[in-house]
């Protein structure tokens, strides 16, 4: 009987492992028995590799034609994908499978949405497994945002771009701040194709009706500081419009002008300027100067469309061409030209305070088996003047090349979407003013939770103190290592 029991047990385990085989890639079952790497060891493994990964080894890999055939790119939306699709020479996208080809290399897009730290959690899990992953499953290139860039650039999971073969000369025309933000221990750990100064985008027709003019210079005069901004908000209300749409709209103009980072010595610090945002937004809400929507909500998007009754939105470079433009159309599939919705009814000005919003950096993952493909993507899309100028001309995105941008700023470049305005000139003016000295690796979580917690205050469901306490409670759930007031 014992024998039979035993054999049954074996049959069971066999069935289970067989199932394991078809449920997932075989490598995982192989791993099952073998190395039982716990998380800490995983980190150390990567450490070692990071130190070994000096130029010589990579050259060896490239020279020996040891490059992998699969390039895995991790990101959180399709913005970068469309840049590669449209501007990287030789990239062919296969709509059916959602993958692409560069020569004989297959490009996989692993897209995880950002919200609730989902992207970072998925990325972290994959990076911790990077040392054990097969070449075809290794992350090669991943994207990071300013809000949490430090977390990755300070780690050994990102490669020094110079080890990839990018030189100072290649990056000479990039805005200095875009390099500073990803520099750790003197090494530049990433590269970006965009600079992201923020502006205030407003509806020309509403400006004409209420302010008597849609000239960006005059409108800027009327919005030059917060007192003036609030006065215009009152005029808008009187005319039946709202100044802003949502609670979070002006958040970045305040959060970028704080006196210190979110986290100082392991403690969460709420800056006075953030409370100024709270007070202003509460005032706007109670006075009816906004439409009580939330960032990215359908109602918020609708306010940017033909039916919208909102004067303007704080948007940075990518937001204007990536989000605002799409939202302004009446027919999403129709031509992007005046006549479709409120295309052409927008204009931009600086607004009351300089700020930036977002920004996406490309990082090479330590252990990548496609270093030269990664290097070439960085080189072409973030350092090549002609390609970057072309990106701006076609998409109106603001690219990270001073020479190209200044050329466009001084040219007769016009944006049809913005009613013929040369918005590049405004961006070129604002970009050098960007100051990212107060960022921390916790910014995404802090910003998200802070905005979320105070929504209750704006809605009248919580007092200011309660909202602040909720923020403290939630931030510690997300980051157990932090302390609060």
Q: Hey, which residues between 259 and 298 contact other proteins (CB under 8 A)?
A: 292-293, 295-298
Q: Does 467 bind other proteins (CB under 8 A)?
A: yes
Kindly state the smallest distance separating residue 138's Cβ from other proteins, in Å.
15
Three-state SS at 177: helix
Binds other proteins by CB under 8 A, chosen from 19, 172, 231, 239: 19
Q: Are the C-beta atoms of 450 and 248 separated by less than 8 Å?
A: no
Q: Are the C-beta atoms of 100 and 94 separated by less than 8 Å?
A: yes
The interface with other proteins within residues 313-372 (CB under 8 A) comprises 323, 326-327, 330-332
Q: Are the C-beta atoms of 142 and 182 separated by less than 8 Å?
A: no
User: Of the candidates 320, 180, 352, which has an alpha carbon nearest to the alpha carbon of residue 252?
Assistant: 352
Three-state SS at 198: strand
Which tokens hold the place of 472?
């403290």
Neighbours of 383 (CB within 10 A): 22
**Toward other proteins, which CB reaches closer, 148 or 202?**
148
Q: Which stretch binds other proteins (CB under 8 A): 301-309, 381-389, 392-400, 429-437?
A: 301-309
Q: Does 466 bind other proteins (CB under 8 A)?
A: yes
Q: Which stretch binds other proteins (CB under 8 A): 17-25, 61-69, 159-167, 204-212?
A: 17-25
Q: Mask: binding to other proteins, 34-73, rule CB under 8 A, as x and -?
A: --x--xx--x------------------------------
**Toward other proteins, which CB reaches closer, 8 or 416?**
8
Kindly state the smallest distance separating residue 139's Cβ from other proteins, in Å.
13
**Toward other proteins, which CB reaches closer, 54 or 461?**
461
Distance separating alpha carbons of residues 445 and 451, to the nearest angstrom? 10
Dump the DSSP string for 232-288: HHHHHHHTT-BS-SBTTTTHHHHHTT-SS-SEETTEE---HHHHHHHHHHHHHHHHT
Tally of CA atoms within 13 A in the half-sphere of 278 that contains its CB? 23
Kindly state the smallest distance separating residue 262's Cβ from other proteins, in Å.
14
In order of 281, 299, 467, 484, the CA distances from 470 in angstroms are: 18, 25, 5, 11
Binds other proteins by CB under 8 A, chosen from 85, 88, 105, 117: 117
Q: Does 459 bind other proteins (CB under 8 A)?
A: yes
**Toward other proteins, which CB reaches closer, 211 or 324?**
324
Kindly state the smallest distance separating residue 316's Cβ from other proteins, in Å.
14
How many helices and strands, by DSSP H and E, does the chain display?
A: 23, 13
Q: Does 301 bind other proteins (CB under 8 A)?
A: yes
The interface with other proteins within residues 127-186 (CB under 8 A) comprises 127-128, 151-152, 155, 157
# of chain residues touching other proteins (CB under 8 A) = 78
Which tokens hold the place of 217?
């210079």
The interface with other proteins within residues 427-456 (CB under 8 A) comprises 441, 452, 455-456
């Amino acid at each position: 009987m014992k024998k039979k029991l035993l054999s049954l047990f074996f049959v069971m385990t066999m069935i289970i492992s067989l199932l394991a085989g078809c449920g997932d890639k075989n490598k995982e079952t192989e791993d099952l028995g073998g190395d039982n790497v716990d998380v800490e060891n995983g980190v150390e493994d990567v450490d070692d590799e990071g130190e070994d990964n000096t130029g010589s080894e990579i050259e060896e890999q490239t020279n020996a034609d040891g490059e992998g055939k699969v390039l895995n790119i991790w990101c959180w939306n399709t913005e970068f994908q469309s840049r590669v699709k449209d501007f990287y020479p030789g990239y062919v996208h296969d709509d059916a499978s959602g993958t692409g080809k560069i020569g004989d290399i297959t490009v996989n897009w692993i897209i995880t949405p950002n919200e609730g730290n989902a992207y970072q959690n998925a990325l972290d899990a994959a990076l911790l497994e990077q040392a054990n992953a097969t070449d075809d499953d290794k992350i090669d290139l991943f994207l990071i945002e300013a809000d949490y860039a430090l977390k990755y650039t300070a780690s050994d999971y990102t490669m020094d771009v110079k080890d990839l073969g990018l030189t100072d000369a290649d990056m000479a025309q990039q805005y200095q701040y875009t390099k500073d933000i990803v520099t750790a221990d003197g090494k530049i750990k990433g590269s970006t194709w965009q600079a992201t100064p923020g502006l205030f985008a407003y509806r020309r027709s509403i400006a004409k009706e209420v302010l008597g003019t849609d000239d960006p210079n005059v409108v800027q005069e009327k919005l030059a500081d917060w007192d003036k901004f609030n006065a215009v908000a009152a005029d808008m209300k009187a005319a039946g419009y709202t100044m802003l749409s949502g609670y979070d709209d002006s958040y970045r103009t305040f959060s970028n002008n704080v006196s210190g980072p979110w986290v100082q010595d392991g403690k969460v610090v709420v800056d006075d300027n953030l409370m100024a945002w709270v007070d202003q937004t509460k005032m706007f809400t109670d006075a009816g100067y906004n439409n009580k929507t939330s960032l990215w909500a359908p109602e918020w998007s609708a306010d940017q469309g033909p039916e919208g009754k909102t004067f303007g939105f704080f948007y940075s470079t990518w937001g204007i061409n990536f989000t605002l433009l799409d939202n302004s159309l009446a027919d999403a599939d129709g031509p992007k030209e005046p006549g479709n919705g409120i295309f052409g009814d927008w204009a931009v000005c600086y607004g009351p305070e300089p700020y930036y919003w977002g920004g996406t950096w490309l990082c090479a993952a330590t252990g990548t088996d496609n270093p030269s493909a990664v290097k070439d993507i960085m080189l072409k899309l973030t350092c090549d003047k002609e390609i970057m100028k072309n990106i701006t001309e076609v998409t109106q995105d603001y690219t990270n090349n001073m020479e190209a941008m200044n050329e466009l700023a001084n040219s007769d470049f016009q944006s049809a979407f913005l009613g013929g305005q040369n918005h590049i000139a405004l961006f070129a003016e604002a970009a050098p003013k960007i100051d990212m000295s107060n960022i921390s690796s916790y910014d995404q979580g802090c910003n998200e939770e802070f905005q979320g917690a105070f929504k209750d205050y704006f809605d009248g469901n919580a007092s200011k103190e309660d909202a602040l306490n909720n923020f403290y409670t939630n931030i510690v759930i997300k980051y157990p290592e932090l302390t609060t007031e």
